[in-house]
Structure 1
Amino acid sequence: MAVLVTRPDERGKQLVDLLNQSGMTALYLPLFSFQCGAELEQLPSKLNQLKVGDYVFFVSRSAVDFSVKILKKSGFQWREDLRYITVGQNTAQYFSCQSERAIHYPISQENSEGLLALPQMQTLSGRRILILRGNGGRNYFAEQATSRGAIVETLECYRREPINYNQEEQIDICKRSGTDTLVVTSLEILRGLIELIPKHEQEWLKSCRLVTVSERIADAAKNYGWQTIILSPKADNQSLLNTLLS
């Protein structure tokens, strides 16, 4: 088995290293790079505007990364009187290490649905929620929180910039390496992968196993034509590694 890892940034590189160390062939093909978001500079003032007990929601580790950098640059500290939330344990632990602040996340279901099921998310009337995110992405949490009475504001901390590749060259490398398994960790990556591969190679692409991290991505992959889809129980690299090894 040869695995194509499309997860961007250091986490993608780390997964490739883990797979290679386990004796598997793994290639790294990130489809995006991450840059500062258009609204990042507004973060300190947006945090100041929140009231005691309001929420700050990090949609991803990248949101933590860029937020931490701008606050360090401005000399601003993470407020102790706010509530910090995310959808996954990995992002939560990363934020805690960077900020020394507690953060809440759903343990059994690491997605927006799991977050919305937490006890503190049931009564949101009058609460403000600042969502720190990239460009694009899912609006489900914001919509549901608003329907529960929250005042929701999003702030673009980072943006995804597509990486340009020579399509034929990348396909040739994948085929020569025997790639038969793809790791896809977001809908944006899934769509980017489909756009990268020309029409006459789509049959090859969708004949590969697809390992992903949520039912939502799996359902989208089925609609695009994938037959073999494997769901990792969590999105962290160790869970993905265990899934691929099994």
Structure 2
Amino acid sequence: MKILNTRPAHQSEHLTYLIEKNGSSVFHFPLLEILPVSFNPIKVGDFDYIIFLSANAVHYFFGGSGSDNAVNETIIAIGSATKHALTKLGFNKVICPTNFSSDGILKMREFQNCKNKSIAIISGENPKPLLSKILRERGAILKNIFCYCRKPITYDMEKIFPVLQANNIDIIITTSAENLLHLMHLFQKPNHRAWLLEKKLCVINEKMKTDAFAIGFKSVIQAENATDEMIAKSMKRLTVND
């Protein structure tokens, strides 16, 4: 089985390793480039809670090195990859929600009564508004830090499309709404779009699954969460079923 991995180049290697370990082959087709943006630095210890919404947020906020005087602060990570990025920098009090999502964070005990609590949310530009909106409604004093952006990668589709056809792609992995949107933008020509919609699509949440069916995909599988392990598990399940 041939799988199209659309994760950003610097994040694709581990997922590719897991997929190939399960017996499938991978074609790399990154759709987004992750770039740093300037921001006003803050001190982790100045807030009651710090929330990191991605491993990229950890990397670009700290610039690759941790904060020695804040390793004992309690930090919220949206998922296991984000938690791993923080623990690698020396943070030893990192907790995750049961459900790796903004909704999962909002259900955490720490945020049920957060009136007048100071909270910093570290993310890329243009995050989903739900988390900030609800925390403000609950009375939190919120500060958003945007430390990176996602830049769509352009391709000469007249050149790359025959290559994709020749590789006999079976499944396409998309890991964000922005990722899926740019995929559709690239495959605009009728013959390109028809080829795309014939493929099985792997997504990482219910909203993406609904959107994919609305776009016209006939076969959509939802991974349990956005971790490489759960995506690879979904790919293995498809391979076994086929």
TM-score, normalising length from structure 1?
0.88
Q: Encode CA deviations 1:62-92: one digit per residue, 9 max, x unaligned.
A: 00111221766xxx53525643112212211
1:128 and 2:118 aligned: yes
1:18 alignment counterpart: 18
For 1:68 and 1:179, locate their aligned partners in 2 and report how far apart those are by CA, in whole Å.
38
Root-mean-square deviation (Å): 1.9
Tell me how many residue pairs correspond in the alignment: 236
Residues 27 and 70 (structure 1), Cα distance of their counterparts in 2 relative to 1, 3 Å cut? closer
1:98 maps to a residue whose letter is L
1:9 alignment counterpart: 9
SS at match of 1:62: helix
- Unaligned residue ranges in structure 1 (runs of 5+): none
Residues 99 and 155 (structure 1), Cα distance of their counterparts in 2 relative to 1, 3 Å cut? same
1:86 alignment counterpart: 77
1:156 alignment counterpart: 146
- Per-residue deviation, 1:191: 0.6
Runs of 4+ in 1 over 6 A off after TM superposition: none
1:174 alignment counterpart: 164
Q: In terms of mean alpha carbon deviation, does 214-223 or 137-146 score higher?
A: 214-223
2:17 maps to a residue whose letter is D
2:173 alignment counterpart: 183
- Per-residue deviation, 1:15: 1.8
SS at match of 2:225: coil
Identity of aligned residues (%): 23
2:56 alignment counterpart: 62
SS at match of 1:219: helix
- Unaligned residue ranges in structure 2 (runs of 5+): 238-242
Equivalent pair of 1:78/1:99 in contact (CA under 8 Å): no
Equivalent pair of 1:13/1:28 in contact (CA under 8 Å): no
Equivalent pair of 2:198/2:218 in contact (CA under 8 Å): yes
- Per-residue deviation, 1:178: 0.8
1:36 and 2:36 aligned: yes
1:141 alignment counterpart: 131
For 1:70 and 1:235, locate their aligned partners in 2 and report how far apart those are by CA, in whole Å.
22
- The 5-angstrom pairing of residues 195-206 of structure 1 reads 195-200=185-190, 201-206=192-197
Equivalent pair of 2:65/2:89 in contact (CA under 8 Å): no
- Per-residue deviation, 1:49: 8.0
For 1:13 and 1:70, locate their aligned partners in 2 and report how far apart those are by CA, in whole Å.
19
2:240 alignment counterpart: none
2:93 alignment counterpart: 102
Residues 48 and 98 (structure 1), Cα distance of their counterparts in 2 relative to 1, 3 Å cut? closer
Residues 84 and 9 (structure 1), Cα distance of their counterparts in 2 relative to 1, 3 Å cut? farther
1:222 alignment counterpart: 213
For 1:48 and 1:130, locate their aligned partners in 2 and report how far apart those are by CA, in whole Å.
8
TM-score, normalising length from structure 2?
0.90
For 1:229 and 1:94, locate their aligned partners in 2 and report how far apart those are by CA, in whole Å.
30
1:50 alignment counterpart: 46
Equivalent pair of 1:167/1:198 in contact (CA under 8 Å): no
1:237 and 2:228 aligned: yes
